[in-house]
Amino acid sequence: MVIIALSVFALCAIAAAVYAFLPAYLHVSEVFTIVLPIVVTVAWFCAVAIAVGGILWVGGWILEGFFHHTH
């Protein structure tokens, strides 16, 4: 959950910085063609990290359950 919050904050900060320093002749649609792939890539990395962390957590939870039942 912390990764998601930090990612959203970073993306908002990057979007605000890009918009603040955007030249007047550059259209918003051109910015989306640059920023959108970056956002999708960061979201994909976050999803993979959360999935791997969840799998490791569930695996540890199961192993801990087996360990307590044998002793």
Residue 70 confidence (pLDDT) above 70: no
Cα distance between residue 58 and residue 66, in whole Å: 13
% helix, strand, coil for the chain, step of 5: 85, 0, 15
pLDDT higher for 60 or 67?
A: 60
Q: pTM score, two decimals?
A: 0.51
Burial, 37: exposed, middle or buried (Cβ in 10 Å; 0-12, 13-18, 19+)? exposed
Nearest to 11 by CA among 45, 52, 59: 45
